[in-house]
Chains A and B, each alone.
Chain A
Amino acid sequence: MRYQTSKNKNFNNEKRTINIALAGNPNVGKSVIFNQLTGLSQTIGNWPGKTVERMEGYLEFLGYHFNIVDLPGIYSLSTYTLEEIVSREYIVSEDVDIIINVIDVTNLDRNLFLTFQLIELGVPMILAFNQMDILRKRNRDLDFQKIEKLSHLPALPVVAVHGVGVHKLLEEAINLLEAKDSKLKSNRNSKIKSLTSFGKEIEEKIDIVMKDLEKNYVPRENSPYPNRFLAIKLLENDEEIHDLVGTNQETNFLSNVQVQRNALEDLHGEDITTIISSEIYTNIQSFTDKFIINNPIKKKKINNYADILDHLTTHSIGGYILLIMVLLGIYCFTFSVGGFLGGLIDELFTAWSEQIYLNYNEDNILVKIFWDGGFGGLMGAIGGVLVYVIPFFLTIEILQDSGYLPRAAFLMDRVMHVMGVHGKTVITMVLGFGCNVPACAGCRIMETEREKKISIALTSLVPCAAVMTVVMGLVGRYIGLEWVLVLFLINFLVILLVGRILNKALPGIRTELIMEMHAYRTPNYKVILKQTWVRTKEFVYKALPIIIVLGIVLEVLLILNLLEPVNVILSPITVIWLGLPALTGVFLIYGILRKELTLVLLAILAENLGLTIAQLLSPIQMITFSLVSMLYIPCFATIIIIAKQTNWKYALQISILEISLALTIGGMFHFIFVLFNAS
């Protein structure tokens, strides 16, 4: 449970480091606060051994070095999701000095549910009440002195989007730490008092379990959880805590916990989760009653655009029309910006290459390997992938920040059931239209391993901007748009088919959708730009090196004349089965690197031969070729992401499944046409 923090980033040893964890529900403005504090210093990584994203950043403030970790948004500290487990373990690890709990005041009760549980962890905490401006617009306010008095925790009003009160949080953190030091590092758990007082009979049971714990539980060194937290979680039948305590105890008191739990359940006639949750909510109710101030001034009825938008985007007809428009919008924007920039970069590279060839001779082997292969691969990655990825990230961040994507999930939930997943997969599939790479990475939002795997497979089959290039450039240009539509239809039928196959093949059952749909809000441009930048940076670091190396490898294969044999080896498939010219074999191999290369290389070859593509491929061959390019394999960067999100075995399985599907459908297509022509 030890986590490596970025302490090594602290070059200045004189400065004291304060490690802060930002905790809170999803969509409460945590990431806005995180952005306000850390600026561009942030990095995205994964939690060790987990596929949960870890956002980290740092800043210097008032002579202190702050390491800030933005924990994933969670509703509770149970073990329902990986995010909750990760957060819980991290908060109690020694890497955290202070938690800043971000609370959305427009949704106080549910936010405090997490707060009340965080308090049980006994880690020094600051309460940041965000969106105070909106609350005050509704003629309500909070009595912060009261909150501090009741909770014994520092409580501050924050308007994160405007940066109001954000740095005050850090000042408070310094105060808190100094105060703690002056008390000679007394037990860090002693000062923080639980806010939840359960009913008498529950408290009795907690006491019994706590006494048992004290007697029997031999904690591992640095056992981080306070006994009260353990006792509550044991009563709640929390699997992780159960195992943690179970492996470290001498006598078998867990059976006693079971007895206590049963007694409580019998007494209340409800199961334990309901009992504890409703008790906490009751506590929250009486807590908030003491500090919410309602100003009895006449309420202005504001025409709420957010509500109108919500109504439209979830409408049973209009909603679907808007969904299609949004999809087209993402695609058009990504495609036009990417296409424009990509064209510029291609021209730049061509001009540059001519210069290099003039100076160093085109046949120079080093020029071939490093310029054509390595640098060419890099430029290709920038001009062919990065220029699409950036505008795509931008649109996605806007959709995400505004709150549209859950609406799409709401509308499409039913359809997705057919494929064994719920509506949330639509979110990642929408992302897939721009670029499969970040979209597959986004599949981590799925709750179970099974759903993540199916989502990844479906998402990797969504035609991305690069695939669109091939289809539009070949079929759209030379044959007609109606065939483009046919190809897309086939593509979506394949997605449906793969969904059905995986639904049957993977063990387990579909979980039901439980998803918050927060109100629309104006996207914060600072957050969007920073998130886009951070995600792009991440992509550059992880994917580009691999693409460069692969470019070099392919160039070496070309020089050694190993690609010709490849064409020959592949010809049974390409020529006999698919009815394509033998030379397409290599293109399909290159297409693994970047899908649009299949078309780009075809065009280059046609040019070299003094022909047009239409003379090189018959219309049927074009359709078959596009169809195969569309389906046959996720591009290399996507495969890497799939492997990272799941494992290499699954990435391989997906690739094989998609190759066989592409070949089956491509072959069928070819032979149907042959039959038609013969008759």
Chain B
Amino acid sequence: MVNDKKEYHVPLLKCLTECEKGSELTVVNVDSGYGAKRRLAHLGVFPGSKIIKKQSAPWHGPIEIIIKGTSLVIGRGLAAKIIVSCEEESCSD
């Protein structure tokens, strides 16, 4: 989604938990412990990978993302440590 009008726009950095559902995101950092970080990396979630936030379970439940075409559920505590950048359009506050 290249937007001509916003040539110099800076991507917004957010926690995965804060993003709107349905938004397309790029992982910037996984700021978790070593074990979870490695696990996520093996499943394709590492800085630079593109993910879609599909939904989150009610009452501050876990987050479901789409990574390389498959659904992955990530506990909220861990999701809060995943920093993503998103296009403003899909990330409206």
Query: Residues of A at under 8 Å CB distance from B?
Result: 75-76, 78, 80, 106-107, 109-110, 113, 270-271, 273-274, 277-278, 281, 314, 316, 406, 409-411, 413-415, 422-423, 511-519
Contact = CB atoms under 8 A, between A and B. Distances in A.
Given A278-B48, A415-B59, 7 more contacts: A113-B42, A277-B44, A410-B62, A423-B75, A512-B74, A517-B64, A517-B71
B47 A423 contact: no
A517 B39 CA distance: 15
A306 B43 CA distance: 23
A406 B73 contact: yes
Given A410-B73, A517-B73, A278 B57 contact: no
A514 B74 contact: yes
Looking at A273, A406, A415, A514, which has the most chain B CB atoms within 10 Å of its CB?
A: A514
B11 interface: no
A518 B73 CA distance: 10
A76 B42 contact: yes
B68 A109 contact: yes
Contacts of A411: 57-58, 61
B57 A515 contact: no
B36 A514 contact: yes
A413 B43 contact: no
A369 B28 CA distance: 71
17 contacts: A76-B42, A109-B44, A109-B69, A110-B44, A277-B44, A278-B47, A278-B48, A314-B64, A410-B57, A413-B62, A413-B73, A414-B58, A512-B78, A514-B73, A516-B70, A516-B73, A517-B71
A334 B48 CA distance: 48
B62 A513 contact: yes
A316 B57 contact: yes
Contacts of B40: 514
Interface string B18-37: 00000000000010101111
A511 B36 contact: yes
B70 A410 contact: no
Looking at B32, B40, B67, B70, which has the most chain A CB atoms within 10 Å of its CB?
A: B70
A518 B71 contact: yes
A517 B38 CA distance: 19
Interface of B: 30, 32, 34-44, 46-49, 55, 57-62, 64, 67-78
Contacts of A78: 38, 42
A202 to B, nearest CB: 15
A513 B42 contact: no
B72 to A, nearest CB: 6
A605 to B, nearest CB: 48
A513 B57 contact: no
B2 to A, nearest CB: 22
Contacts, number: 120
A16 to B, nearest CB: 37
Given A80-B35, A511-B35, A514-B40, A278 B70 contact: no
B78 A513 contact: yes
A424 to B, nearest CB: 10
Contacts of B71: 516-519
B75 A513 contact: yes
Contacts of A76: 42
A512 B74 CA distance: 7
The 7 closest A-B pairs by CB, nearest first: A512-B75, A512-B78, A513-B75, A277-B41, A76-B42, A316-B58, A517-B71
Contact of A422 (B43, B60, B69, B75): B75
A80 B40 CA distance: 11
Nearest to B80: A512
A281 B57 CA distance: 29
Contacts of A80: 35, 38-39, 42
B43 A514 contact: yes
A423 B61 CA distance: 10
Contacts of B34: 271, 273
A106 B35 CA distance: 27
Nearest to A314: B55
A411 B62 CA distance: 8
B64 to A, nearest CB: 7
B79 to A, nearest CB: 8
A515 B70 CA distance: 11
A76 B59 CA distance: 32
B73 A107 contact: no
A271 B30 CA distance: 10
Contacts of B59: 414-415
Contacts of B36: 511-512, 514
A76 B76 CA distance: 23
A409 B34 CA distance: 24
Contact of A281 (B37, B39, B44, B76): B44
A273 B39 CA distance: 9
A414 B41 contact: no
Nearest to A117: B42
Contacts of B49: 278, 281
Contact of B72 (A277, A413, A512, A517): A517
A409 B72 CA distance: 12
Contact of A514 (B55, B58, B70, B75): B75
A514 B78 contact: yes
A273 B41 contact: yes
Given A414-B62, A514-B36, A423 B74 contact: no
A115 to B, nearest CB: 13
A278 B46 contact: yes
A517 B68 CA distance: 13
A409 B73 contact: yes
B67 to A, nearest CB: 8
A57 to B, nearest CB: 29
Contacts of A514: 36, 39-40, 43, 72-75, 78
Nearest to A414: B61
A413 B44 contact: no
A88 to B, nearest CB: 13
A76 B39 CA distance: 9
A512 B58 CA distance: 17
Contacts of A518: 70-71
A490 to B, nearest CB: 24
A237 B19 CA distance: 33
Contacts of B46: 270, 273-274, 277-278
Contacts of B69: 106-107, 109
Contacts of B55: 314
